[in-house]
Amino acid sequence: MKFHTLMFASACLVLGACDQTVTPAAAPVAASAPAAVVTPASAVVAPVPPPPPPMVAGLDVGKTSTQATRAPGAGKSLSAAVNDAIRTAILQVNGTTVNLNTEQYKFALDAATPYSEVNIRATGFADVMRQQTRGAITGFKLDSAEGPDAGGIYKVWIEAQVAKYTAPEAEARKIKLVVAPIRFDAKSFTVGGRSVPATQVAQEIRGKILETLAQSGRFAVLDREFDAEVQQELDMVESGQTPNAQFGKLGQAFSADLIWIGRIRSLGYVRHSRELRATDRELVSYSGGWAVSQKLVNVATRQVLLANSLQDQMPATAPTTLGVSVDSDKTLSSMQAGIAQQVVASIMSSSFPVSIVSRDGNSVILSQGANAVKLGARYQVVALGAELRDPQTGQSLGRTEAPCCEVVIDRVTPTLSYGHLEAVAIAIDQVPQGGLLLREAITRKAAQVATTDRPAAKGRRADKDDMGDPVPPTKSKRGDADW
């Protein structure tokens, strides 16, 4: 209360000084200004073009600034009308989604209340307003004031400079995505004889998914893990500990468009053993893998856009009696990386199919990088045709696809891939830009080569005899007791 009393007293002194009659200062001598230079019409100089933008842009975190606006207000007193006009000005600049309940906005919306009509109409009231609003309003002018009318209502128009935060333009256009904490069905997972807490496994997988999605450059990935630390910084702005220009950062948090929700159904790499009766030795092997279910939910409609299960098996070790050890940390890390890669690939393929964005002959550039394709891999490419719709529902069934060619990935970056086309089967020059999409990876050629080039094993048992009849299986000389 003491602080507000002192502030009010100082404001009154400023207004009192401003109400005194002041003799205008003499205008500056015209001779001190530089003489104007008259240029003939035939010698008009072309404007200098702005410098080109830098080849590599820096990190865009948005910016704080002020924006001029003119706003009306109405109220049962002149101060109430001014407060209403300030509210309108703030909403005009920052939009209706701005939170007006913050401490600093509360000061701004009540800034004119302690002052009389004489003080508000004084020329020094602009300085008082800048102090009272704590940076929300950095410039103020009472343009006009009328009233009270027959209903006792005052009406005003003001001109104001309002603090504004401009979000990064590129990030604002992206889909906002939140990765929810991963759920799990077990308290711990066994990997190579080591028991790992499920909480630790889930947190590490979530971190890898967040990192991979952020590196893709396709989504604005929102953080929900460190809300307390972020709020601490915003509290400093709201309490007035930072420059007034920073005030525009308040109330600018993005809300999510999509939420990814995942659950670990199973994960492990376990030891299998069997005692050999004949030798009293133990036959040991390891095998395992993982399974994850996922959903992608539209926040606005709560519609499930994607729901499926992902899984993979790790290479098993061959059974042996000589002893075998497994690097638990390396195996777990490999499974976590595999989960993150498949999750991101699934999200990306459903949201942003990989397309060929540039082509020079058979050399091409693809729209996504290491998170979507693998170096050295071969993929099927299709050419898009006309869009088809369901005659009953009117829903789009997608566009027709025609086999085009194959692409081999030669180089990958975090956001782009480079490759070359092979086996082109259509007039590719007639396909419009963006009309070539990647589909499934091709592995059949490698399998055919491996089968063709492999020499026939000597002494290999035939599946059929000389007459074409099946050869009966030979009885193994090894007894069941050996296993």
CATH number at residue 407: 2.40.10.410
- CA-CA distance, 362 to 424, in Å (whole number)? 9
57-67 burial, b for 16+ CB within 10 Å, e for fewer?
A: eeeeeeebebe
Say what the pLDDT of residue 62 is.
Answer: 60
Kindly state whether residues 302 and 182 are assigned to the same domain. Answer: yes
Kindly state whether residues 305 and 285 are assigned to the same domain. Answer: yes
At residue 79, what are phi and psi to the nearest 5 degrees? -65, -40
Say what the pLDDT of residue 98 is.
Answer: 56
Residue 260 lies in a domain: yes
Q: Are 207 and 213 in contact (CB under 8 A)?
A: no
Print the domain residue range for 93: 63-166
Residue 286 structure tokens: 């390891």
At residue 197, what are phi and psi to the nearest 5 degrees? -55, 135
Say what the pLDDT of residue 201 is.
Answer: 96
Residue 456 lies in a domain: no
Q: Are 73 and 145 in contact (CB under 8 A)?
A: no
Q: In DSSP terms, which residues pair with 281 in a beta bridge?
A: 276
Say what the pLDDT of residue 346 is.
Answer: 86
HSE-CB for 293 with a 13 A CA cutoff = 7
Query: Which DSSP state fits 137?
Result: E
Residue 104 lies in a domain: yes
Amino acid at 458: K
How many separate domains does the chain show? 3
Q: Which helix (H) or strand (E) holds 452?
A: helix 444-453
Pick the closest to residue 138 from 129, 149, 147 (CA basis).
129
Kindly state whether residues 135 and 243 are assigned to the same domain. Answer: no
Q: Which helix (H) or strand (E) holds 72?
A: strand 63-75
Kindly state whether residues 187 and 327 are assigned to the same domain. Answer: yes
Residue 57 lies in a domain: no
Q: Are 374 and 443 in contact (CB under 8 A)?
A: no
Pick the closest to residue 406 from 374, 437, 384, 372 (CA basis).
437
Say what the pLDDT of residue 56 is.
Answer: 45
CATH number at residue 176: 3.30.160
Kindly state whether residues 83 and 209 are assigned to the same domain. Answer: no
Kindly state whether residues 371 and 242 are assigned to the same domain. Answer: no
Residue 465 lies in a domain: no
Cα–Cα distances in angstroms (integers) from residue 75 to residues 14, 132, 151, 167, 348, in the given order: 25, 20, 10, 34, 53
Say what the pLDDT of residue 170 is.
Answer: 62
Kindly state whether residues 209 and 253 are assigned to the same domain. Answer: yes
Domain end (from 131, 149, 166): 166
Say what the pLDDT of residue 174 is.
Answer: 84
Say what the pLDDT of residue 54 is.
Answer: 47
Kindly state whether residues 91 and 113 are assigned to the same domain. Answer: yes
Say what the pLDDT of residue 124 is.
Answer: 76
Kindly state whether residues 115 and 196 are assigned to the same domain. Answer: no
Say what the pLDDT of residue 102 is.
Answer: 56
Q: Are strands 175-179 and 219-221 parallel, antiparallel or unpaired?
A: parallel
Give pLDDT < 70 ranges for the chain: 1-64, 95-108, 132, 134-135, 165-172, 238, 240, 243-252, 444-483
Say what the pLDDT of residue 119 is.
Answer: 80
Q: Are 481 and 278 in contact (CB under 8 A)?
A: yes
Domain end (from 331, 349, 367): 349
Say what the pLDDT of residue 203 is.
Answer: 95
Say what the pLDDT of residue 264 is.
Answer: 96
Kindly state whether residues 315 and 180 are assigned to the same domain. Answer: yes
Q: In DSSP terms, which residues pair with 71 in a beta bridge?
A: 158
Neighbours of 120 (CB within 10 A): 20
Q: Are 320 and 283 in contact (CB under 8 A)?
A: yes
Kindly state whether residues 178 and 314 are assigned to the same domain. Answer: yes
Residues in the chain: 483
Domain end (from 326, 349, 372): 349
Residue 42 lies in a domain: no
- CA-CA distance, 158 to 180, in Å (whole number)? 46
- Categorise residue 423: left if φ over 0, alpha if ψ from -120 to 50, beta otherwise: left
- CA-CA distance, 222 to 231, in Å (whole number)? 14
Cis peptide before 148 (omega within 30 of 0): yes
Say what the pLDDT of residue 458 is.
Answer: 42
Residue 49 lies in a domain: no
Q: Are 176 and 257 in contact (CB under 8 A)?
A: yes
- CA-CA distance, 189 to 269, in Å (whole number)? 9
- CA-CA distance, 196 to 184, in Å (whole number)? 13
Residue 10 lies in a domain: no
Kindly state whether residues 199 and 181 are assigned to the same domain. Answer: yes
